[in-house]
Amino acid sequence: MGIQVFHKDRPALMLPLISNDARMIVWPGVGAWTASMNYVRMEAGEENEVHSHSESEDTIVILEGNGSVDDLTNGRTLEFSAGDVIHVPVSVVHAVRANRGSPVVSAGGPCPADIALLRSCGADIPERSAK
């Protein structure tokens, strides 16, 4: 398999755990096991479900809007705005929220891909074959 090009408007999987409009673009379903990339649009006031990634770091680039991210493991809430990058270490329990009056658009995701989360969203992911 060689280089592939994907478009945010043709996602292969939606991630309702993250947002009503969370699109999985790069993930194991397209052959990417160590990286993942989603495109998310959260409406003003929307927030994702509290979750963590047991084996993945989550990195999110904020393209538009402002909001906050709850770090429930450490009892903190951090504000963010367009141009910021959020990094969530492995196993940190967190949730992202778009502030009222401001939709948030972001790109990013857990790396390596969070297989358990993807399966919980309905993804049919085969076992990874040995190299």
On average, the pLDDT of the chain sits at 93
Beta strand spans in 43-103 (E): 57-64, 66-71, 76-81, 85-88, 94-98
Asked if pLDDT for residue 117 goes beyond 60, the answer is yes
- Supply the range of the domain harboring residue 55: 13-120
Q: Judge if pTM exceeds 0.85.
A: yes
Closest by Cα among 6, 1, 27 to 121: 27
Number of structural domains, the chain? 1
SS3 103: coil
Burial class (CB in 10 A: 0-12, 13-18, 19+), 103: middle
Q: In this structure, is the dihedral angle defined by the CA atoms of residues 92, 68, 14 and 120, taken in order, positive or negative?
A: positive
On whether residue 42 sits in a domain, the answer given is yes
On whether residue 126 sits in a domain, the answer given is no
Asked if pLDDT for residue 45 goes beyond 80, the answer is yes
On whether residue 58 sits in a domain, the answer given is yes
Query: Span 10-28, mean pLDDT?
Result: 93
CATH code for the domain in which residue 56 is found: 2.60.120.10
pLDDT class of 107 with cuts at 50, 70, 90: very high
* pLDDT reported for residue 131: 54
Query: Under a CB-based contact definition with an 8 Å cutoff, are residues 57 and 87 in contact?
Result: yes
Q: What is the pLDDT of residues 62-93, one digit of tens each?
A: 999 999 999 999 999 999 999 999 999 999 99
Query: Span 20-28, mean pLDDT?
Result: 95
Query: Span 36-57, mean pLDDT?
Result: 96
Asked if pLDDT for residue 130 goes beyond 60, the answer is no
On whether residue 106 sits in a domain, the answer given is yes
Query: Under a CB-based contact definition with an 8 Å cutoff, are residues 61 and 32 in contact?
Result: no
On whether residue 103 sits in a domain, the answer given is yes
On whether residue 99 sits in a domain, the answer given is yes
* pLDDT reported for residue 114: 94
**Paired tokens of 9:** 């408007």
